[in-house]
Amino acid sequence: MIPPGLSFISMSDKAWRANELSNLPKFYLDLKSYKKSLINNSNPFTPSVNLMFALDEALRMMKDEGLENIFQKHERHKLAISEAAKKLNLKLFASKESLSPSITAIETQNFDAESFRKSIQDKYGIQLAGGQDHLKGKIFRVGHLGYINDRDIISVITAIGLTLYEKNIVNENDIGQALVEAKKHLEK
């Protein structure tokens, strides 16, 4: 639930011994300097203080919500998005058994995913992820991991539905069915 840029490393004694013997050039990822600074409860370089505060808040929020509740919420969101997509006549990229609780990839068979994503970003301010490498323009991805709530899920389904409607790919009834289907899963 935080912006990218923070990493954690855990090393065994064996890994530390290998690090000590390493003669590869390094600067920012010189773990010896981090280990030395850690003894003094410090950092060898300017730390990402804002990300540490964000991590602290995200962990507090997760503790308050409870892991089991978080897992259930992600499962509900996965089902709401994937089942609504089917009602919008969209094809899921992954099989039902392989669906991820963090992101749903949707194939675009009759339209370009990149222009579709741009339309949703421009009109609704919702950013969908695109396909990478050979999937660029062929899929878009809806993230539902982290600080996402039911209203966000309904909003993205509505934006996808209305954009498909504007492109004459679905009708109003399809959008309504998609939202009703999503609601079923969100209320579980």
Domain ranges of the chain: 28-65, 67-186
In 3D, which of 24, 42, 31, 41 has the Cα closest to residue 9?
A: 31
Residue type, 142: V
Looking at residue 46, what is its pLDDT?
87
Report the DSSP beta bridge partners of residue 105: 141
pLDDT of 82 over the 90 cut = yes
Looking at residue 45, what is its pLDDT?
86
Looking at residue 174, what is its pLDDT?
98
Tell me the whole-structure pTM to 2 decimals.
0.83
Looking at residue 28, what is its pLDDT?
72
pLDDT of 109 over the 90 cut = no
In 3D, which of 122, 108, 125, 95 has the Cα closest to residue 164?
A: 108
pLDDT of 102 over the 90 cut = yes
Q: Which residues touch 165 (CB under 8 Å, ≥6 apart)?
A: 171, 172, 174, 175
Instruction: Note the pLDDT tens digit of each residue in 119-169.
Output: 999 999 999 999 999 999 999 999 999 899 999 999 999 999 999 999 999
CATH 3.40.190.10 fits 67-186, yes or no: no
pLDDT of 32 over the 90 cut = no
Per the model's pLDDT, the better-predicted residue between 34 and 118 turns out to be 118
DSSP the chain: ---S--------HHHHHHHHH-----STT-HHHHHHHHHTT--SS---HHHHHHHHHHHHHHHHH-HHHHHHHHHHHHHHHHHHHHHTTPEESS-GGG--SSEEEEE-SSS-HHHHHHHHHHHH--PPEE--GGGTTTEEEEE-SSS--HHHHHHHHHHHHHHHHHTTSS-HHHHHHHHHHHHHHHT-
d(CA 56, CA 188): 30
Report CA-CA distances (Å) from 186 to 1, 147, 151, 183. 21, 15, 10, 5
